[in-house]
C-alpha cells in the first residue's frame, strides 16, 4: 500500500499534529515502508499455529523460594545495609518522593 503526501496531511490534521509541508513527503515514504512490512506479515504461513492472547499468557515454572546459606544468602541484615548512607532497623532510609 502506498501513502501519498495528501493522505499524510489529512491524517496529521485529524490527529492534530502540525507537520511542515517539507516533512510530508518523507513521512509518506516512511509510512509506506511500514505498511509494506505489515503486508509482508500477511505472507507468513500460520496454518496450525494456535492463537495467543499474550506472549506471556502461559504457566511459568517457579523454583521454590528458599533462603540460601553463605555470603550471598540471607540472615545478614548488617552486611546488606553496610554501605547505605542512612539506615534504620536494618532498612534503607530514603527521601520521601510521594506525598
pLDDT digits (tens, 9 = 90+) for 24-79: 999 999 999 999 999 999 899 989 888 877 767 667 788 888 777 766 666 778 88
Tell me what pLDDT residue 73 has: 65
Tell me what pLDDT residue 68 has: 72
- Beta bridge partners, 45, equal none
Contacts of 52 (CB under 8 A, 6+ apart): none
CB atoms within 10 A of CB 4: 13
Contacts of 93 (CB under 8 A, 6+ apart): 84, 86, 87
Tell me what pLDDT residue 23 has: 95
pTM of the model: 0.48
Tell me what pLDDT residue 18 has: 94
Backbone angles phi, psi at 91, to 5 degrees: -120, 150
Q: Which of residues 77 and 91 earns the better pLDDT score?
A: 91
Tell me what pLDDT residue 53 has: 74
d(CA 34, CA 42): 13
Q: Which of residues 53 and 91 earns the better pLDDT score?
A: 91
Please say whether the beta carbons of 43 and 20 come within 8 A. no
47 grid coordinates: 496454518
Amino acid at each position: 500500500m502506498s501513502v501519498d503526501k495528501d493522505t499524510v496531511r489529512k491524517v496529521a490534521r485529524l490527529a492534530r499534529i502540525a507537520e511542515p509541508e517539507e516533512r510530508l513527503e518523507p513521512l509518506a515514504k516512511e509510512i509506506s515502508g511500514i505498511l509494506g512490512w505489515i503486508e509482508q506479515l500477511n505472507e507468513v504461513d500460520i496454518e496450525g499455529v494456535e492463537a495467543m492472547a499474550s506472549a506471556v499468557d502461559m504457566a511459568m515454572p517457579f523454583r521454590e523460594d528458599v533462603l540460601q546459606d553463605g555470603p550471598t544468602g540471607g540472615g545478614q541484615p548488617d552486611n546488606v545495609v553496610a554501605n547505605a548512607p542512612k539506615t534504620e532497623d536494618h532498612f534503607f532510609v530514603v527521601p520521601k518522593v510521594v506525598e
